[in-house]
């Protein structure tokens, strides 16, 4: 590729506007050229037909004037014919010849060619046969195109001679040339207007696109979501700008949530770490010497480390869920089985508080209580809710779990406790990350405020919902709705 090609290539393919411009130009030029060509051909045809008609009328008129003289065929009559021919030829600016029935020249308005036989010329030949004939050809002497019309002169049924009227086509050709220039001017002017309009349009279309591309570049380089695009239009481009801004808004929100999460997580991690530090300090300062104190301090150290561990586990889980990691293949999860297993897992804690746990499974017809999903994630969600139920229910209370098919495609899991209940003020927030209804008390019970956030995340991934009903000091009921596995459904990822 040489330099010019490369520049042209760049000019054309690096710019949408230039591609549009070239396309418009080609289409418009082609269309106008086609129309012009068609118009010129039509004008030419029309002019020639007009001219032919005029010549024909002249020939017929002359025929009426000289038909007697043609029949007489005497020197005198020939003179009369010649003068009639000359008169008309000068008046009309045409060339006229008259031949007799054998094709011999009788009179000629241009220089006389006596006794020349013109029968071999096509139009005269045809006219001698009795028809009006026309021909257009170039004259070798004048190098001009001529039109000839030959008319037979008839008397009592026989052709007595032929009158041929000829005229050079220079006038028509001059007019056509003029028309051609007018058309070319129109094509050129239209081209210029097209270029101007295209440039204007390109600027209109390109400006927001260039702005958008610059902003996208800026975001990708600096990660700074502070700027929005100006939306000045209501067309598709305006809509694109709006969507772009919505995307920026969403990214901004995500970024805000992420920052908040990090700052909350660091804060949550810092508190027990500092407590561990002080306990260790106290032990080093001499508390380790006293067996009673040592036992007490080591006990709190163990609780603090446990809390730290469970917080870190929750953080890992939630970030895994956020990043879309751990996308296990969908398994058939038997919820009755899973609920029983989960209950067994928390039973030791429940027994410690003497809480009664009852489970109830209601399958509908042939429908098993089977959900398509990830077993360990679903178990994690159940355990989180059950742990809360145990944690927030005072000794002697009870926990009831009902698993049932609501319809052929929906499963409901109700986990009801007779615990402290949740204040209406806190209720809308308990699924938020790090949200704890009663901070002092829950921290004491080892809560991180992430348990229900993880539940909501997992249930959502299984295309389900989780809700809570609660009355303070009466208890709470968590209701999970999940789609039941449909027989024959495709196996995919969550
Ligand atoms: N069964 C329940 N009874 C009363 N309050 C509950 C129950 N489950 C959750 N909560 C409240 O919701 C808050 C959020 O729960 P969760 O996300 O599991 O965090 P935590 O780590 O504190 O258990 C808890 O701090 C608690 O105040
Ligand atoms: Mg919890």
- Helices vs strands, H then E, count in the chain: 11, 12
Q: Is the pLDDT of residue 322 over 90?
A: no
Q: pLDDT, tens digit, for every residue of 401-447?
A: 999 998 888 999 999 999 999 999 999 999 999 888 875 555 555 67
- The pLDDT, as a whole number, for residue 116 is 76
- The pLDDT, as a whole number, for residue 440 is 56
Look at ligand 1, atom 19, and give the residue with the nearest C-alpha: 449
- The pLDDT, as a whole number, for residue 448 is 82
Place of tokens 């040592």: 294
- The pLDDT, as a whole number, for residue 459 is 95
Confidence of residue 237 (pLDDT cuts 50, 70, 90): confident
Q: Is the pLDDT of residue 6 over 70?
A: yes
- The pLDDT, as a whole number, for residue 46 is 94
- Pocket test of ligand 1: the residue of 313, 447, 466 to mutate, having most ligand atoms within 8 Å of its CB, is 447
- The pLDDT, as a whole number, for residue 268 is 87
Please name which ligand lies nearest the alpha carbon of 435.
1
- Pocket test of ligand 1: the residue of 306, 430, 474 to mutate, having most ligand atoms within 8 Å of its CB, is 430
245-253 average pLDDT score: 92
Q: pLDDT, tens digit, for every residue of 140-181?
A: 877 889 999 999 998 878 888 999 999 999 989 999 999 999
Beta bridge partners of 138: 145
Between the CA of residue 168 and those of 84, 88, 171, 173, 258, what are the distances in Å? Answer: 21, 16, 8, 10, 91
Between the CA of residue 481 and those of 106, 409, 460, what are the distances in Å? Answer: 116, 10, 10
Q: pLDDT, tens digit, for every residue of 14-37?
A: 777 788 888 888 999 999 999 999
Q: Is the pLDDT of residue 489 over 80?
A: no
Q: What are the pocket residues of ligand 1 if the criterion is a CB atom closer than 6 Å to any ligand atom?
A: 384, 388-389, 392, 417, 419-422, 430, 435-438, 442, 447-453, 476
Report the separation in Å between the CA atom of 417 and the middle of ligand 1, taken as the mean of its atom positions.
Answer: 12
Q: Is the pLDDT of residue 85 over 80?
A: yes
The mean of the pLDDT values for the chain is 88
- The pLDDT, as a whole number, for residue 327 is 57
- The pLDDT, as a whole number, for residue 362 is 86
Domains (range + CATH), the chain: 19-174 (3.30.450.20), 225-324 (1.10.287.130), 326-483 (3.30.565.10)
Look at ligand 1, atom 11, and give the residue with the nearest C-alpha: 437
Give the angle 368-463-426 at the CA atoms, nearest 5°.
110
Q: Would you state the structure tokens that stand for residue 65, as one six-digit string?
A: 């004037």
Give the angle 309-312-314 at the CA atoms, nearest 5°.
110
Confidence of residue 186 (pLDDT cuts 50, 70, 90): very high
What is the pTM for the complete model shown?
0.62
Pick the more confident residue, 12 or 480.
480
Look at ligand 1, atom 12, and give the residue with the nearest C-alpha: 430
- Pocket test of ligand 1: the residue of 436, 456, 474, 475 to mutate, having most ligand atoms within 8 Å of its CB, is 436
Pick the more confident residue, 329 or 84.
84
- The pLDDT, as a whole number, for residue 398 is 96
Give the angle 462-467-470 at the CA atoms, nearest 5°.
155
- The pLDDT, as a whole number, for residue 43 is 93
Q: 3-class secondary structure for 18-47?
A: HHHHHHHHHHHHHHHHHHHHHHHHHHHHHH
Q: pLDDT, tens digit, for every residue of 366-401?
A: 568 899 999 999 999 999 999 999 999 999 999 999
Q: Is the pLDDT of residue 490 over 60?
A: no
- The pLDDT, as a whole number, for residue 195 is 87
Look at ligand 1, atom 25, and give the residue with the nearest C-alpha: 436
348-363 average pLDDT score: 92
Pick the more confident residue, 136 or 112.
136
Q: pLDDT, tens digit, for every residue of 285-306?
A: 988 888 888 999 999 999 999 9
- The pLDDT, as a whole number, for residue 399 is 97
- The pLDDT, as a whole number, for residue 72 is 83
Q: Is the pLDDT of residue 325 over 80?
A: no
Q: What is the DSSP string of 370-435?
A: EEEE-HHHHHHHHHHHHHHHHHTS-TT-EEEEEEEESSSSEEEEEEEE-S----TTTGGGTTSTT-
47-54 average pLDDT score: 93
**In 88-217, which ranges are E strands?**
95-100, 105-108, 133-138, 145-155, 158-168
- The pLDDT, as a whole number, for residue 234 is 87
Residues belonging to the chain: 494
Look at ligand 1, atom 27, and give the residue with the nearest C-alpha: 437
Look at ligand 1, atom 18, and give the residue with the nearest C-alpha: 451
Pairing of strands 398-405, 356-362: parallel
Report the nearest atom of ligand 1 relative to the CA of 446.
21
109-121 average pLDDT score: 75
Beta bridge partners of 357: 399
219-248 average pLDDT score: 89
Report the separation in Å between the CA atom of 358 and the middle of ligand 2, taken as the mean of its atom positions.
Answer: 20
Look at ligand 1, atom 9, and give the residue with the nearest C-alpha: 388
Radius of gyration of the chain (CA): 52
Q: Is the pLDDT of residue 494 over 70?
A: no
Please name which ligand lies nearest the alpha carbon of 437.
1
């Amino acid at each position: 590729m040489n330099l010019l090609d490369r520049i042209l290539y760049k000019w054309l393919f690096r710019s949408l506007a230039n591609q549009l411009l070239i396309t418009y130009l080609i289409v418009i030029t082609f269309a106008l050229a086609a129309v012009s060509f068609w118009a010129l051909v039509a004008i030419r045809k029309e002019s020639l037909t007009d001219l032919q008609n005029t010549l024909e009328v002249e020939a017929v008129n002359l025929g009426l004037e000289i038909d007697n003289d043609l029949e007489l065929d005497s020197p005198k009559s020939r003179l009369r014919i010649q003068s009639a021919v000359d008169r008309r030829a000068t008046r009309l600016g045409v060339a006229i010849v008259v031949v007799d029935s054998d094709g011999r020249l009788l009179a000629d308005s241009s220089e006389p060619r006596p006794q020349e036989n013109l029968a071999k010329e096509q139009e005269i030949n045809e006219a001698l046969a009795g028809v009006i004939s026309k021909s257009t050809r170039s004259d070798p002497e004048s190098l001009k195109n001529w039109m000839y019309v030959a008319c037979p002169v008839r008397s009592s049924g026989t052709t007595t001679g032929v009158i041929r009227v000829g005229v050079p086509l220079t006038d028509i050709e001059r007019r056509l040339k003029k028309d051609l220039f007018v058309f070319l001017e129109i094509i050129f002017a239209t081209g210029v207007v097209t270029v101007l309009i295209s440039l204007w349009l390109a600027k209109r279309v390109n400006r927001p696109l260039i702005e958008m591309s610059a902003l996208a570049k800026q975001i990708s380089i600096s990660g700074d979501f502070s700027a929005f695009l100006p939306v000045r239009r209501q067309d598709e481009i305006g809509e694109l700008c709006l969507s772009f801004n919505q995307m920026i808004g969403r990214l901004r929100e995500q970024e805000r949530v992420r920052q908040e999460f990090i700052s909350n997580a660091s804060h949550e991690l810092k508190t027990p770490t500092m407590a561990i530090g002080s306990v260790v300090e106290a032990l080093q300062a001499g508390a380790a010497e006293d067996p009673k104190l040592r036992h007490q301090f080591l006990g709190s150290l163990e609780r603090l480390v446990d809390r730290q561990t469970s917080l870190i586990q929750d953080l890992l889980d939630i970030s895994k869920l956020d990043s879309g990691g751990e996308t296990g293949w969908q398994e058939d999860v038997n919820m009755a089985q899973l609920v029983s297993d989960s209950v067994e897992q928390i039973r030791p804690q429940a027994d410690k508080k003497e809480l009664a746990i009852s489970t109830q499974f209601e399958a509908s017809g042939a429908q098993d209580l089977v959900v398509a999903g990830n077993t360990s994630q679903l178990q994690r969600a159940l355990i989180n809710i059950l742990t809360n139920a145990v944690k927030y229910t005072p000794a002697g209370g009870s926990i009831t779990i009902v698993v049932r098919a609501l319809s052929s495609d929906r499963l409901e899991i109700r986990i009801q406790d007779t615990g402290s209940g949740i204040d209406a003020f806190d209720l809308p927030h308990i699924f938020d990350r790090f949200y704890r209804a009663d901070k002092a008390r829950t921290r004491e019970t080892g809560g991180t405020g992430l348990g229900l956030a993880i539940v909501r995340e997992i249930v959502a991934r299984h295309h389900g919902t989780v809700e809570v009903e609660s009355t303070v000091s009466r208890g709470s009921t968590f209701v999970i709705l999940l789609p039941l596995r449909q027989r024959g459904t495709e196996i995919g990822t969550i």
